[in-house]
Structure 1
Amino acid sequence: MGILKLLKYCVIIVVAYFIICNIVIFYYAQQKPASHADNLIILGSQVVGNPAEAPPTLQARLDVAITYLNENPETKVVVCGGQGKDESATEASVMAHYLISKGIDLPRIYIEDKSMRTAEQFVNVMKILPPGKTVVVTNDFHILRSIMLAKRSGIEDVSGLSAALSFDNVDKYVAFVREPLALLNSWLFDHPNDPR
């Protein structure tokens, strides 16, 4: 087999992977969350500015979470995310402040502010609250990987609550390329006892 033919097959395989992966990601994003969850986990995302604020991608997560929390008043919520080098506050603290400003009572909010990656968020949440029935809140493109990592961390009864991004948000387009790669990386390397 010539080099060009081999290269052609490799390109076909890679393109097919991205297409199939994005179809499965889209399918998972359509699922409905379980009602009356014990815990709602809102996954962190980069915050911007000083003082730090939630950008549109993170606000979308928080807004759908607020709707769920108002409809399920017994559900506790865990906000996740540490502080990156280019952030002026932890993601979790910004998220907690946003929830409180929208009327969510402080005693319902638990803060996980150490994690730097999705896999770490679930590992650290398990140290804060027993898993119980859990709903994970993240953006639509991120649901599949998040559910996989939650289950690996020992959260068995888990469903997703998708915060859809509109097509005028650049993160939507970046996700078409980034998320299939991140999914493959998480499947291969992100394990509960070694969240790289």
Structure 2
Amino acid sequence: MIIITLFISLLAYIAFAHLHIIETAKKATPKNLPYLIVLGAKVNGEEMSLSLLYRAETALTYLTDNPSTKVVVTGGKGPGEDITEAEALNRFFREKGIDESRILIEDQSTSTYENMKFTKDLFEIEEAVIVSNDFHLYRAISLADNIGIKGYPLAAETPSAVKAYNYLREYLAVLKMYILGT
């Protein structure tokens, strides 16, 4: 009986988290907000992973359509990365013609919570569009709201090859957020 109850509870939690993830990714994004935050993701040496590239391309469309918006590129340097995630994004935007005066850099974070906290501390941002892959936006927006940034989601596609893994990992990360607040 206990095993059945635990299994049903697990399924109910996954359904709950999945619904919030999907609903957040579908929300409309307001135009002309002063800031857009691009959350970091894996860099292989100096090359963006497909997840990070999708985030960068999605953000570039917003920046092109909203020329007064500044972009905050985030992410420190992890294992296997020769440059920070923020630097990979910075290079991408500069190569695509975004003036460096529109690019703000947060390059110390190692988690989604730190992306938001360090961005808030460095730039005193109160409202921003937040760009990440669709599976990640519910938690990112929740964490932003918790530290005082009114966040609006802008969903980048999740690469098919990592979709199942990222969703499973995110269900655990959302649970951690509920328990620890980070």
Per the shorter chain, which TM-score range?
over 0.9
Letter of the 2:36 partner, please give it: L
Letter of the 2:40 partner, please give it: G
- Alignment match of 1:180 (pick from 163, 168, 171): 171
Aligned partners of 2:121 and 2:84: how far apart in 1?
18
Aligned partners of 2:15 and 2:126: how far apart in 1?
34
Q: Does 1:59 align with 2:50?
A: no
Aligned partners of 1:171 and 1:138: how far apart in 2?
14
Contact 1:39 1:132 in 2 (8 A): no
Aligned partners of 2:75 and 2:167: how far apart in 1?
23
Aligned partners of 1:112 and 1:145: how far apart in 2?
19
- Alignment match of 2:151 (pick from 153, 158, 164): 158
Shift of 1:88: 1.1
> Partner residue of 1:194?
none
Q: Does 1:70 align with 2:71?
A: no
Shift of 1:133: 2.9
Q: TM-score, normalised by structure 2?
A: 0.95
Q: Does 1:141 align with 2:135?
A: yes
Q: What's the CA shift string for 1:43-100, capped at 9, x where partnerless?
A: 0001013xx1111111110001000001110111100000013211111001100111
Shift of 1:105: 0.9
Structure 2 counterparts to residues 125-136 of structure 1, below 5 A: 125-136=119-130
> Partner residue of 2:29?
33
Unmatched tracts of structure 1, length 5 or more: 192-196
Q: Does 1:94 align with 2:94?
A: no
Aligned partners of 1:132 and 1:10: how far apart in 2?
40
Aligned partners of 2:152 and 2:57: how far apart in 1?
18
Aligned CA-pair RMSD: 1.2
Contact 1:39 1:134 in 2 (8 A): yes
Letter of the 2:158 partner, please give it: L
Contact 2:126 2:148 in 1 (8 A): no
> Partner residue of 2:11?
15
Structure 2 counterparts to residues 73-84 of structure 1, below 5 A: 73-84=67-78
Larger radius of gyration: 1
Q: TM-score, normalised by structure 1?
A: 0.89
Unmatched tracts of structure 2, length 5 or more: none
Aligned partners of 1:175 and 1:19: how far apart in 2?
15
Q: Secondary structure at the match of 2:83?
A: coil
Aligned partners of 2:14 and 2:88: how far apart in 1?
33
4+ aligned runs moved over 2 Å, structure 1: none
Identity rate, percent:
35
Q: Secondary structure at the match of 1:74?
A: coil
Higher strand proportion (structure 1 or 2) = 2
Shift of 1:21: 1.4
Higher helix proportion (structure 1 or 2) = 2
> Partner residue of 2:118?
124
